[in-house]
Structure 1
């Protein structure tokens, strides 16, 4: 029944009246779930001989890489498209994955706001329980369908709690996923490859042309899209260039007001060309800000050392403290290497420290406009507690 108030506003009484006001009800058919038991058997094998049985979803493809774990409850879409995961088998510690599907793509400034790059960079995803049904207002397809489209395998039914404990105790290990009836792939250590060269843009791209008062040069060593979005939102143009671009020549011509060093995968010592570019920027006193791998590249540029962590930091719940203060932040992180704070030269000091293992989370110059963080202030996924660092960097450009 539908009646009206004194003002003429419809008053809906009873479920049948909803159709009178809103039109015919919309029926939503959730995708029919394929029973887990109907999926092909699969196995995850670690380099020490440990094996985990499960069922395949996504692409039925055998693959090898480095096995790492991520402690985030959500954010699997952003994580899988983060170039920092290149060549890795990502173990999700949260037990249920896939229940909100994969969003339809949305664009802003010529870049996706749904994904952090144009493709999945992780080699595989390992979960305890893959949700065969999904529900979310922005969903475009299921996680399994997306993995099939990207030719990336997944394995479900794995005891991820036990697997994570093994990786914490013994460290990240090489691993491979074998599909029932298939041939095991050869072992592969992605850290021996120049992964930066694989994920970096192949040609310069300018974003926000004519919309900013300053222009930032972004050295793309595996940049997430939200780094670009975060800069554009603060009124600067972004010139994104390949990792091995002739940055010194651009700085000599005065093309940009500042330098941004992006995140990225693998061993930072593989990106020697980018390190040389950072040295030039420091010599020319160009304001510089690094994120994740960018923290390690800045450290190498000033003569400091980096090293591989036992099992890395991956997730959206890593606590850090600003050195010399009591200011703590929860951050999003994704890295397997770190900076040795004790190797920092004169006039450089640690900026942030991880509260879990006391490793370095950032460095800065005592008085120059050079700084970097090991975590992700742009988040995606994760908290935006440290987004103010972008404001500080943009402020340095305009001094």
Structure 2
């Protein structure tokens, strides 16, 4: 035991996880060397690990995968959800093995290293998940050193200095800066890749990028829209100048109240103009704030590809993909705003609508193909309503 309180490394350990509750866990490092500090969360998805690691919504977070065999289908360019990875690193139960998938272009551990991501294997991910469920999502430091040597004081100091995700406008850090037409195609099909994005398609949707996943834009295109992407810092004048038929509010990381300081006034001005609006995840939360509701930090959050959500209109249950640590407080929805979906895990708000359905949002990710197509109707509802 060192004077930092961290137990000595067992033989062969090249990775270390420190938690804000004082616990230290040794493992085998893979991917990039170095250290990262952020929030530790768990994800229950059995597939899509590369989508998770590149989703901008995971900025500032370390992912504890509950599925033990992460990396066994390798990595490829088509499964990227952004131009670069945004999660800080990941924890897995089993060592990353050689991939066995016809779409594989690189080993997962090699891809992690190229993206600057730190991974630890040999971790009791089930025990960590139970800890998070019991105590909430902790702050954590993940570190990898091929030599097995670590500056434990520096790791402790970094963790002590981390201030958490509350109050963090991470959307402004991950958003794209340039306004551009989405021209990378529609949804993916086996043997064909991504469909084409027609420049002349109508209606015209302006998508505000708070940290958007690329597949959201592909689904909007697939539903028949021409999509122009603007920065999270876009002003009302910037948006109106593009002459949109509707505005989409994307997913993204961080505290919606912090991002809302600059985003909510713009959304409220769009509402005053009776603009059709559709929001997903952070976009849903920002829409809720703009309509007069409140948001709150969740105890452990919802992350995975197997979350049941009940549609209150007809009782249908959708199997959804989720990634959020904040949520709209359904009890604070004002008059004129209807709760449309709730989580069957804990009853939290998962959907709202206003203005006769011209304005709506969902907390989950319909583009992530859980179910696998339970929620694609939302894109058709939005784009179809603009025609």
Q: Give TM class, smaller chain.
A: 0.7 to 0.9
Moved more, 366-375 or 301-310: 366-375
For residue 67 of structure 1, the aligned residue among 36, 40, 44 is: 40
Tell me which residue corresponds to 2:191: none
Counterparts of 1:311-322 in structure 2, within 5 Å, are 311-322=300-311
Distance 2:205 2:171 in 1: 20
Query: Which residue of the partner structure matches residue 205 of structure 1?
Result: 180
Q: Residue 48 of structure 1 aligns with which residue?
A: 21
**CA drift at 1:302:** 1.2
Deviation of 1:96 after TM superposition, in Å, equals 1.4
Q: Does structure 1 residue 396 correspond to structure 2 residue 382?
A: no
- The alignment status of 1:261 with 2:249, answered yes or no, reads yes
| Partner SS state of residue 285, structure 1 | coil
Partner of 1:329: 318
2: CA distance between counterparts of 1:190 and 1:364? 27
CA–CA separation in structure 2 for the residues paired with 1:119 and 1:254: 27
State the distance in 1 between where 2:199 and 2:118 align.
Answer: 43
- Taking structure 2 as the reference length, the TM-score comes to 0.88
CA distance in 2, matches of 1:248, 1:303: 23
The question of 1:238 aligning with 2:246 is answered no
Q: 1:119 aligns with which of 80, 84, 87?
A: 84
Q: CA deviation at 1:178?
A: 3.1
What is the TM-score normalised by the length of structure 1? 0.85
Q: 2:213 aligns with which of 205, 224, 240?
A: 224
Aligned position for 1:342: 331
Runs of 5+ in structure 2 lacking a partner?
1-9, 183-196
Match of 1:174 in 2: 139
Which structure has the larger Rg over C-alpha atoms? 1
- Deviation at 1:43? 1.6
Matched, 1:306 2:295: yes
Contact 1:215–1:237 (Cα < 8 Å) also in 2? yes
Cα deviations by residue, 1:323-381 (Å, 9 ceiling, x for unpaired): 14221110011000000111111111111000010000011115251000000111157
Cα distance in 1 for residues equivalent to 2:65 and 2:79:
20
1:34-183 counterparts in 2 under 5 A? 40-103=13-76, 105=77, 113-179=78-144, 180-183=148-151
Deviations 1:304-335 (A, max 9, x none): 10001111000000000011422111001100
Unmatched tracts of structure 1, length 5 or more: 1-36, 106-112
Q: Following TM superposition, by how much is the alpha carbon of 1:91 offset from its aligned partner in structure 2, in angstroms? A: 0.2
Distance (whole Å) between structure 1 residues aligned to residue 95 and residue 322 of structure 2: 24
Aligned residue number for residue 282 of structure 1? 271
| Aligned length, in residue pairs | 353
2:283 to 294, 297, 321: 294
Deviation string 1:244-277 (CA, Å, 9 cap, x unpaired) is 11134532x4611001000000100121222112
Q: How big is the shift at 1:129?
A: 0.8
Q: Residue 58 of structure 1: CA displacement?
A: 0.6
377 and 278 in structure 1: CA distance in 2 versus 1, 3 angstrom threshold: same
4+ long deviations beyond 4 Å: 37-40
Taking a change above 3 Å as real, the CA distance of residues 209 and 191 of structure 1, as seen in their structure-2 partners, is farther
Deviation at 1:192, TM superposition (A): 4.0
